[in-house]
Amino acid sequence: MNCLIFNDAESAVQKIAKEFVEYSLQNRPVHISLSGGSTPKLLFKTLATSPFKTEVHWENLHFWWGDERMVEPENPESNYGEVKKLLFDHIKIPSQNIHRIRGEQPVELELQRFEREIRKVVPNQVFDWIILGMGTDGHTASLFPYQTNFNDNNLAVIAAHPDSGQLRISKTAHLIEQSKRITYLVTGAGKAEILKEIYTESAENLPYPAAKIQSKEGITEWFLDKDAANLLEINSTF
């Protein structure tokens, strides 16, 4: 694991927000995939405030999601809805730069439409940056332990939450692994035990998608706060 340990979630989010500025200075469309969860909400709030609100060249950034629940965008469980409320409603970004998964649509039809959009818009289906979280069960996006087909060559997949059965659409492991950069943003003491497993065990011996999914040609990194990393033997802190 390539780990960066931060004093707190706010410090990790500040680091990522600064990199949004750097990415946006490139004179081309930059494709970034976002994650749901509590820490990303802090990121979106941060990006919606000064100096990032005005320093980021939003017209150069294209936003996607690692997964989405099949709910209306107004539903509190909608990943897109949270970003809209916390970030998009507060910045000037072209509507064509927002590539949401339409959770209100029939799941099979939306899966096909989402894959078509990726093929049409993302060069060679290679994302510049995919930001992921990790659940306490080791899932990432909506790729769950014992349910994920790591050999699925499609771009997206229909997934069901193992407990609730709620349907989602998720990027596949195959698509995520083509990304130039994968950043796992994981915070909180509740993730410490599973992070220790991932840090000390070979990924092939673990069932956790978050342990297995890495960029094939690019960078894979973990941004952790002190609470999440408290069982790891890593001393460097930012």
Q: For residue range 189-215, what is the model confidence (pLDDT) as tens digits?
A: 999 999 999 999 998 999 999 999 999
Gap between the Cα atoms of 183 and 224, Å rounded? 10
- Residues 6 or more apart in contact with residue 93 via CB below 8 angstroms: 58, 59, 61, 63
The encoded tokens of residue 220 equal: 């894979």
Say if 234 falls within a structural domain: no
Token pair listed for 118: 């990726």
pLDDT band at 238 (very low <50, low <70, confident <90, very high): low
* Residue 237 clears pLDDT 90, i.e. is over it: no
Element (H, E) at 223: strand 219-225
* 35-44 pLDDT tens trace: 998 899 999 9
Q: Would you state the pLDDT for residue 27?
A: 87
> Can you give the pTM of this predicted structure?
0.96
List, in order, residues 6 or more apart from 193 with CB less than 8 Å away. Answer: 231
116: Cβ–Cβ under 8 A, 6 or more apart, which residues?
A: none
Are residues 75 and 45 in contact, defined by beta-carbon separation less than 8 angstroms? no
pLDDT band of residue 235 (cuts 50, 70, 90) is low
Q: In 3-state terms, what secondary structure has residue 131?
A: strand
Identify whether 236 is part of a domain.
Answer: no
Diameter over CA atoms, the chain = 48
Placement of tokens 């931060």 in the chain? 6
Distance CA 47, CA 35 (A): 15
State pLDDT tens for residues 2-23.
899 999 999 999 999 999 999 9
Residue 210 lies in a domain: yes
C-alpha–C-alpha distance, residues 97 and 178, integer Å: 21
Q: Which domain holds residue 151?
A: 3-225
Characterize the bridge pairing of strands 156-160 and 167-171. antiparallel
- In the DSSP assignment, the letter for residue 14 is H
For residue 238, give Cα distances in angstroms to 8, 53, 177, 202: 9, 24, 27, 26
In sequence order, what are the beta bridge partners of 217?
none
Do the domain assignments include residue 237?
Answer: no
- Output the pLDDT for position 37: 86
- DSSP code of residue 173: H
The reply to whether 233 falls in a domain is: no
Across residues 174-178, what is the average pLDDT? 98
Task: State the CATH number of the domain containing residue 70.
Answer: 3.40.50.1360
Q: Is residue 114 part of a domain?
A: yes
The per-residue b/e assignment along 55-91, b for 16 or more CB within 10 angstroms, e otherwise, is ebebebbbbbbbbbbbbebeeeebbbbbbbbbbbeee
- Number of structural domains (the chain) is 1
Q: Does any domain span residue 231?
A: no
pLDDT, tens digit, 9 for 90 and up, residues 134-150: 999 999 999 999 999 99
Q: Is residue 219 domain-resident?
A: yes
Secondary element (H or E) of residue 225: strand 219-225
| Joined tokens for residue 57 | 């060249």
